[in-house]
Amino acid sequence: MTTGFADSAYTTAGNSRSLTFADGTNSRVFDTVNQQPMLNSVNLQLIHNAPIGGKIELTAGQDADILASYPTANNNSFDITNAYLSGTSGPFTLLFGKFSTLAGAEVLESPSNLNYSRSILFGYAIPFTHTGVRLTWAATPFLSVIAGVNNGWDNTKGPGGPRTGEGGLAYTNKNLTLTAQGYSGTERISNAAWTNPSAFPPGFDTATHRSVIDAVATYKFGSFVTGTVNFDHGHQAIAPVADSTGTFVGFGPANWNGGAGYVAAQITSKLQVIGRYEVFSDPQGARTSYNQQWNEGTLTFAYAPSSALLFRLEGRADHSNHSVWANANGSPTNGLSTVSFESIVKF
């Protein structure tokens, strides 16, 4: 089976303002350019569903550079997002290769998400992909147990030391879906660890222990309204610590946590309205490069005139307890508001 999509969008924050943090690093996950039409992604998936099967997923466009795993260069607008073999025998399914994370209420492929913009949790609390092996046991028609070993967060090559273990439970019935998953193992201290070893003192070990617990619950309130909640808590033994201005102040232990809630209402067969609110706490600045508590609210109108077309109009307002963004004139600010339009063509 061959499937895919093309995703383009336009986001405006007004004037010539940047959508990045004041230090120039990304704040939003994918919608990072102001007042320019963007080809976010052209996605192609080759899927073979059989006792011996697999999947190859290729991504081109701006999103590919953000999804790219180490040691892939993040500047060639191309990514092999999934590439795995699968084997199924009775209630057991084994994956071997590169595959998407278990964590999170959102996924890598935009058409499968409720909103256009990705959540803070999606970008900063959890990984995107893993390279390794994953075993799923469908213990009952409603309950699955998942376990695996991989090279860590967004690495096709591990940092050395013990690998990262993953574990998960997934429960589904008519109206309720519950998932809980966790990751723990050796990770890179930061993205600079591989590309710029001189960022660390001589003899400094660039690998550390990182763990995260993620939980998602989705409930269908009848035929028209669906609610979702997502919670994440992460810890890293050694991390680059930053203050509220984004200034590096040393290395130390770090924690991060956050929660998100979604409500999706199916107004007509073609029109859906989605609200999202979330808060993310990064007290050591290890994930966002700022010591901050960051929240955002998003309202999205999604219109699908056919099964092959999807249009979204979205308003989003972000707020931090510190001035982590900059206005068009360069003055610091603790808020960022945007309006986005997205068009998706599925094939």
Task: State mean pLDDT over 127-136.
Answer: 97
**In the numeric block, which tokens belong to residue 172?**
């589904």
Element (H, E) at 18: none
What's the CA gap between 135 and 139, in Å, rounded?
A: 12
192 — pLDDT class (breaks 50, 70, 90): low
Specify the pLDDT at position 149: 97
Specify the pLDDT at position 284: 96
Specify the pLDDT at position 159: 73
| Geometric angle at alpha carbon 120, from 118 and 123, rounded to 5° | 70
What's the CA gap between 300 and 263, in Å, rounded?
A: 10
pLDDT greater than 70 at residue 202: no
Name which of 66-80, 109-123, 184-198, 326-340 the model is least confident about. Answer: 184-198
Compare 314 and 26 and report the one with higher pLDDT: 314
Residues 6+ apart with CB under 8 A from 48: 1, 54, 55
What's the CA gap between 119 and 108, in Å, rounded?
A: 12
**In the numeric block, which tokens belong to residue 20?**
């990045």
**In the numeric block, which tokens belong to residue 32?**
């990072």
Specify the pLDDT at position 193: 42
Chain mean pLDDT for the chain: 93
What would the pLDDT profile of 245-288 be if each residue is shown by its tens digit? 999 898 899 999 999 999 999 999 999 999 999 999 999 999 99
What's the CA gap between 85 and 94, in Å, rounded?
A: 8
What would the pLDDT profile of 134-173 be if each residue is shown by its tens digit? 999 999 999 999 999 999 999 988 777 789 999 999 999 9
Q: What is the C-alpha radius of gyration for the chain, rounded to an integer number of angstroms?
A: 20
What's the CA gap between 297 and 51, in Å, rounded?
A: 43
Task: State mean pLDDT over 1-5.
Answer: 96
Specify the pLDDT at position 111: 97
What's the CA gap between 296 and 336, in Å, rounded?
A: 9
Specify the pLDDT at position 194: 41
131 in Cβ contact with 150 (< 8 Å): yes
Residues 6+ apart with CB under 8 A from 276: 114, 115, 119, 260, 261, 262, 296, 297, 298, 300
> What CATH number should be reported for the domain whose range is 2-346?
2.40.160.10
27 in Cβ contact with 325 (< 8 Å): yes
137 in Cβ contact with 294 (< 8 Å): no
328 — pLDDT class (breaks 50, 70, 90): confident
Query: Which of these, 38, 44, 132, lies nearest to 80 by C-alpha position?
Result: 44
Specify the pLDDT at position 203: 58
Specify the pLDDT at position 162: 80
330-335: long-range pairs with CB below 8 Å, 24+: 332/22
What's the CA gap between 79 and 72, in Å, rounded?
A: 8
DSSP 263-309: EEEE-SSSEEEEEEEEEEEETT-TTTSS-EEEEEEEEEEEEEEETTE
Compare 220 and 158 and report the one with higher pLDDT: 220
217-226: long-range pairs with CB below 8 Å, 24+: 217/176, 217/177, 217/178, 217/179, 218/105, 218/176, 218/177, 219/175, 219/176, 219/177, 220/174, 220/175, 220/176, 223/266, 224/265, 224/266, 224/267, 225/263, 225/264, 225/265, 225/266, 226/262, 226/263, 226/264
Percentage of residues in the chain having pLDDT higher than 90: 80
Specify the pLDDT at position 123: 95
What's the CA gap between 269 and 304, in Å, rounded?
A: 8
pTM, full prediction: 0.93
Task: State mean pLDDT over 73-83.
Answer: 89
